[in-house]
């Protein structure tokens, strides 16, 4: 089973497939997943290594379904957490039918991109090259990025310069997806755009709100644990812990007079209200969990 907890509906001519979003950290894979799925299902932030888990973002078409697999950026593991993240990437590559190789339009490809491209070629995955962030690049930079990226994937299917943020070029990229699919089941019903549970999605959106406001080592040391979540007619009630590794980090996340955690809460609540289309009551507490990134039991609990 390549996807967890999925109902399979068979139709004779229906097309489907798993497409991995592969690229260095911070190139905009999660932004692209959200844009193509038309929903906010993956956390996006200016900090590298925002994505820690594999997330399905489903693109529904007429008679087809592309299940995008948003994964962490390729990296050299440094601890148990990043080891698990890299394992997730490897596992996903083995599971997928095709790839979108995402690079940054503002710079020629480098060593990291080369390494990823090699893996995609080795895995013999039909690959569409996506040159992202064109809104931040000059035409000459975009041309350089395209030239260096196509040199890495000899049998590339197509190249698409896009901006996942402004959505420029994304319709044409979406049209590239059906030819990457083959006859297969609809893994997800029409109204479902992700495989995440409400708890997982909530943790993702709360962490995103925190990462967008924090810098230096704090984003890497931060995790979100949902302690309690109830969904009723009156709305969604979430009790969550923001975990960090040191007292000093706790001080930063709480902020002067609690200002920072208050801002994180306001922003997270708005994103959650949007995602669930309901009123959200959110209760956030910052806790110190020393060495959680090295703690297998804790990583299991966090679903990492
Ligand atoms: N200007 C511009 N910024 C973008 C675009 N796409 C993504 N970004 C920004 O780039 C940063 C990283 O985006 P993510 O989508 O989190 O990148 P990622 O590749 O998923 O990163 P990791 O999960 O860390 O591997 C965020 O600040 C995004 O807002 C784009 O098309 N244009
Ligand atoms: Mg990401």
Q: Pick the atom of ligand 1 nearest to 48's CA.
A: 24
Which residues have a Cβ under 8 Å from the Cβ of 301 and sit 6 or more positions away?
225
Helices (H), ranges, the chain: 29-37, 80-95, 111-122, 139-150, 170-175, 198-211, 218-221, 247-254, 259-276, 296-301
Tell which of 122, 149, 183 closes a domain. 183
Q: Sort strands 127-132 and 98-104 into parallel, antiparallel or unpaired.
A: parallel
Report CA torsion sign: 281, 287, 293, 294.
Answer: negative
Query: Which ligand 1 atom is at minimum distance from the Cα of 25?
Result: 25
Domain shared by 47 and 177, yes or no: yes
pLDDT at 84 > cutoff 50: yes
| C-alpha span between 168 and 277 (Å, rounded) | 27
- Expressed in angstroms and rounded, the spacing between residue 108 Cα and the centre of ligand 1 is 17
Kindly state whether residue 45 falls inside one of the protein's structural domains: yes
Output the DSSP codes for 123-158.
TT--EEEEEE-GGGS-HHHHHHHHHHHHTT-TT-SE
Q: How many domains does the chain have?
A: 2
pTM of the model: 0.96
Q: Within 6 Å (CB) of ligand 1, which residues are found?
A: 23, 25-31, 44-46, 48-51, 72-73, 132-133, 135-136, 163-165
Give 12's pLDDT tier (boundaries 50, 70, 90): confident
DSSP state of 186: B
pLDDT in tens, 27-74: 999 999 999 999 999 999 999 899 999 999 999 999 999 999 999 999
Tell me, what CATH number does 136's domain have?
3.40.50.300
Domain co-membership, 95 together with 239: no
pLDDT one-digit tens code per residue, 255-283: 999 999 999 999 999 999 999 999 999 99
Per the domain annotation, does 8 fall within a domain?
Answer: no
Question: Is residue 32 included in any domain, yes or no?
Answer: yes
List, for residues 112-165, the tens digit of each pLDDT value. Answer: 999 999 999 999 999 999 999 999 999 999 999 999 999 999 999 999 999 999
The tally of CA atoms less than 13 A away on the side-chain side of residue 45 is 23
**Residue 104 φ/ψ, nearest 5 degrees:** -90, 125
Residue 33 CA to ligand 2 center (angstroms) comes to 9
- Structural domain including 238 reads 198-301
Query: Which CATH number fits the domain that encloses residue 202?
Result: 3.30.300.20
DSSP 74: P
**Position in ligand 1 atom list of the atom nearest CA 132:** 31
Q: Which of 28, 101, 205, 222 to mutate to test the pocket of ligand 1 (most atoms within 8 A of CB)?
A: 28
């Amino acid at each position: 089973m390549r996807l967890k907890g999925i109902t399979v509906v068979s139709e004779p001519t229906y097309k489907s497939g798993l497409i991995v979003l592969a690229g260095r950290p911070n190139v905009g894979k999660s932004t692209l997943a959200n844009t193509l799925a038309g929903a906010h299902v993956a956390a996006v932030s200016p900090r590298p290594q925002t994505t820690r888990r594999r997330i399905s973002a489903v693109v529904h078409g007429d008679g087809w379904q592309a299940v995008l697999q948003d994964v962490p950026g390729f990296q050299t593991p440094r601890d148990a957490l990043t080891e698990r993240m890299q394992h997730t990437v490897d596992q996903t590559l083995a599971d997928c039918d095709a790839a979108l190789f995402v690079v940054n339009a503002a710079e020629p490809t480098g060593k990291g991109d080369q390494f990823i491209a090699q893996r995609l070629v080795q895995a013999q995955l039909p690959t569409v090259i996506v040159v992202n962030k064109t809104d931040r690049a000059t035409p000459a930079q975009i041309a350089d990025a395209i030239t260096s990226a196509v040199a890495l994937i000899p049998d590339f299917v197509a190249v698409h310069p896009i901006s996942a943020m402004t959505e420029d070029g994304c319709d044409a990229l979406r049209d590239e997806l059906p030819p990457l699919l083959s006859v297969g089941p609809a893994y997800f019903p029409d109204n479902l755009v992700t495989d995440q549970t409400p708890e997982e999605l909530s943790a993702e959106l709360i962490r995103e709100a925190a990462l967008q406001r924090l810098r230096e080592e704090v984003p890497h040391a931060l995790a979100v644990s949902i302690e309690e979540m109830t969904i009723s007619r009156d709305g969604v009630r979430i009790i969550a812990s923001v975990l960090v590794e040191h007292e000093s980090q706790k001080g930063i996340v709480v902020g002067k007079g609690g200002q920072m955690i208050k801002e994180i809460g306001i922003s997270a609540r708005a994103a959650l209200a949007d995602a669930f289309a309901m009123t959200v009551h959110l209760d956030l507490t910052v806790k110190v969990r020393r060495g959680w990134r090295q703690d297998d039991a804790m990583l299991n609990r966090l679903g990492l």
